[in-house]
Amino acid sequence: MSVEAVTPFVEMRGIVKQFPGVLALRGVNLDVRPAEVHVLLGENGAGKSTLIKVLSGVYAPNAGEILFEGKPVHIRGPHDAQALGVSTIYQEFNLVPEMSVAENIFLGREPRFSHGFGLLDRGKLMVQAREVLSKFDIKVAPDTIVKRLGVAQQQMVEIAKALSLNARVIIMDEPTAVLTAREIDHLFKMIQDFKQRGISIIYISHRLEEVKRIGDRATVLRDGAVVGTVPVAGTPIDEVIRMMVGRDLKDKFPKTSVEPGEEILRVENLERKGILHNISFRLRRGEILGVAGLVGSKRTEMARAIFGVDKIDSGKIFVDGQLKNMKSTAHAIRSRVALVPEDRKRQGILPCMSVKENITLSMLKKFARIGILDLGKERKSAQGHANSMRIATPNLDRWVMYLSGGNQQKAVIAKWLGTEAEVFLFDEPTRGIDVGAKVEVYQLMGELVKRGAAILMISSELPEILGMSDRVLVMHEGRLAGEFTREEATQEKILSCALGSTSEQQIETGVQA
């Protein structure tokens, strides 16, 4: 890297971090200049999260040094990092849901009466909170209870908390993953404002379009090492992807077209009071049926109803022509239906169980002889599925929580490969996983439909819907609002259909007082 005139505000040199069995960082260098948006890119497991946890004092590195404004510092814990002006906004917020916005912002630093025997000064708390919020134009009332806020507003509270700590570097870990387009615009405007005030941002995202929009420089990590640091403006996206995956990704959506076969799933007049209304559709073998819609259009609820998680009030579900209104998830699985849920952490993985146990949970019956599991056979089968999904893990006995997001998702999908499933309900199958893993998931979908299975794919990423679907359903407020063939479907048509008539109110989930 060339020596620049600007002294970096933060510099990390030769950072090494080892976990049992995994070398997460292999001598990483990173320099962040004052008032720049520095993007960290890399596939899941490349070491981005580990790197920011080292900077924010969560992990102690095994080797390497950290400099602030040219001076070496010793970060022994999150408190040290905070004192140096490093604030981190994680994907999962560190907020107390039962407390007010103001209380959350000043948690642990509550203003007290000057002679009040340590009693809290609630008036001062509100005033100070209002100051921070208004200074950065954050439109949230300080006395609102945090759990009543939407995700975007909760994020704003986190940001306010960081600002009130006089942060000079704010680390944002995939801040836009849960935001709508409008909320993202607002966030980006705010980031510009921070830059003007001299605050640096370390920004982690999988969405490459965003990187173009707000990034100044980008550092690409792969396998725990830096591939390179490049100016965002002068670097084409293809180049960045090549750096991330270490190979050319010819096709972002490797679509395999299969001649559709017989009908395998038919849903008739599905009703769930106040949630799903009169939903009917068919799905044929060899087909990928995309389901588009806005957040809150009840797509997930539809999948859950088909899979027997939530009870339906009326309607019929047929699998291979046989009436199968699922009484339970076990019934759905016996009926050869599988569901990959949208929230990997909460609904997908069993964190403190091994990779093997996660993969085989739904197919244990296959390994039981007179009630006793044949563990050797189980391991062999799990190994096979882990290999075919290319799950990167030191061994099958590792707890799944120690894998990267992409590999966790592969384990969740692998769970269904050994079952009899032929109807796959994929709910946001590539959310929060990197480009490389995404392509692998798409390839797997292709293999499944080639074998005669059928896929219903719920996705909020329109390019994904357009790239992978043979047919697209659009949902709006619990109803089917439209259907398009692959040839007909365009971003505009799907979007206007998804917005329905009350479009304004739908997008405006963002900021309100």
Partner 1 sequence: MSEVGLKEIEKDIPAESVSSPKAGFLSRIPWGRVGMPAVLVILCVVFGTINPNFWSVMNMTNVSRQISILALISIGQTFAILSAGIDLSVGSLLALVSVVTAQQMLHFGMWGGIAAGILAGALAGLVNGLLIAKAKLPAFITTLAMLIAARGIALTLSGGLPIVDLPEQFMFFGAGKIGPIPVPAVIAIVAFILAHIILTRTRFGRYVYAMGSNEEAAVLSGVSVVRNKTLVYVISGTLAGIAGVVLTSRVISGQPTLGDGQEVYAIAAVVLGGGKMSGGVGGMWQTLMGVIVLGVLANGLNLIEVSSYVQNIVIGVIIVLAVYVDLARERRR
| Contacting residue, 145, 151, 350, 495, with partner 1 by CB under 8 A | 350
Is 148 a residue that touches partner 1 (CB under 8 A)? no
Q: How many CA atoms lie within 13 A of 440 on its CB side?
A: 22
Residues 6 or more apart whose Cβ sits within 8 Å of residue 377: 366, 367
At 449, list the tokens: 């439909």
Residues 29-48 that bind partner 1 (CB under 8 A): 29
Residues 66 and 117: their CA atoms lie apart, in Å, by: 40
Residues 95 and 149: their CA atoms lie apart, in Å, by: 11
Q: Which is nearer to partner 1, 372 or 513 (CB)?
A: 372
Q: In angstroms, give the least distance from the CB of 101 to partner 1.
A: 29
Q: In angstroms, give the least distance from the CB of 308 to partner 1.
A: 9
- Provide the mask over 293-332, with x wherever binding to partner 1 is found by CB under 8 A and - wherever it is not: --------------x-x------------------xxx-x
Q: Which is nearer to partner 1, 206 or 415 (CB)?
A: 415
Quick one: which of 436, 435, 462, 457 has its CA closest to 446? 457
Q: Which is nearer to partner 1, 1 or 513 (CB)?
A: 1
Does residue 85 contact residue 163 with C-beta atoms inside 8 Å? no
Amino acid occupying residue 200: S
Q: In angstroms, give the least distance from the CB of 312 to partner 1.
A: 17
Is 58 a residue that touches partner 1 (CB under 8 A)? no
Is 347 a residue that touches partner 1 (CB under 8 A)? yes
Is 256 a residue that touches partner 1 (CB under 8 A)? no
Residues 302 and 267: their CA atoms lie apart, in Å, by: 10
Backbone torsion region of residue 185, taken as left when φ is above 0, otherwise alpha when ψ lies between -120 and 50, otherwise beta: alpha
| Contacting residue, 120, 190, 295, 353, with partner 1 by CB under 8 A | 353
| Contacting residue, 179, 333, 437, 441, with partner 1 by CB under 8 A | 333
* CA angle, 141 then 170 then 400, to 5°: 100
Q: Which is nearer to partner 1, 356 or 476 (CB)?
A: 356
Q: In angstroms, give the least distance from the CB of 357 to partner 1.
A: 7
| Contacting residue, 18, 91, 229, 256, with partner 1 by CB under 8 A | 18
Does residue 353 contact residue 400 with C-beta atoms inside 8 Å? yes
Does residue 388 contact residue 16 with C-beta atoms inside 8 Å? no
Is 377 a residue that touches partner 1 (CB under 8 A)? no
Task: Say if strands 71-73 and 263-272 run parallel, antiparallel, or are unpaired.
Answer: unpaired
Q: In angstroms, give the least distance from the CB of 343 to partner 1.
A: 9
Task: Say if strands 314-319 and 479-485 run parallel, antiparallel, or are unpaired.
Answer: unpaired
Does residue 246 contact residue 239 with C-beta atoms inside 8 Å? no
Residues 75-104 that bind partner 1 (CB under 8 A): none
Q: Which is nearer to partner 1, 97 or 394 (CB)?
A: 394
Residues 392-451 that bind partner 1 (CB under 8 A): 392-397, 415
Is 341 a residue that touches partner 1 (CB under 8 A)? yes
Q: In angstroms, give the least distance from the CB of 341 to partner 1.
A: 6
Q: In angstroms, give the least distance from the CB of 402 to partner 1.
A: 8
Residues 7 and 32: their CA atoms lie apart, in Å, by: 9
Is 365 a residue that touches partner 1 (CB under 8 A)? yes
Q: Which is nearer to partner 1, 184 or 332 (CB)?
A: 332
Q: Which residues in 140-261 belong to E strands, given as ranges? A: 169-173, 200-204, 217-222, 225-231
Is 62 a residue that touches partner 1 (CB under 8 A)? yes
Is 63 a residue that touches partner 1 (CB under 8 A)? yes
Residues 270 and 255: their CA atoms lie apart, in Å, by: 30
Q: In angstroms, give the least distance from the CB of 415 to partner 1.
A: 6
| DSSP run (H or E) holding 30 | strand 22-32
Q: Which is nearer to partner 1, 25 or 455 (CB)?
A: 25
Q: In angstroms, give the least distance from the CB of 271 to partner 1.
A: 22
Does residue 74 contact residue 64 with C-beta atoms inside 8 Å? no
Q: How far is CA 101 from CA 95, 179, 189, 291, in A?
A: 9, 19, 22, 36
Q: How many CA atoms lie within 13 A of 138 on its CB side?
A: 30
Per CB under 8 A, residues contacting partner 1 are 13-14, 16, 18-23, 26-27, 29, 62-64, 307, 309, 328-330, 332-333, 339, 341, 346-353, 357, 361-362, 364-365, 368, 371-373, 375-376, 379-380, 383, 392-397, 415
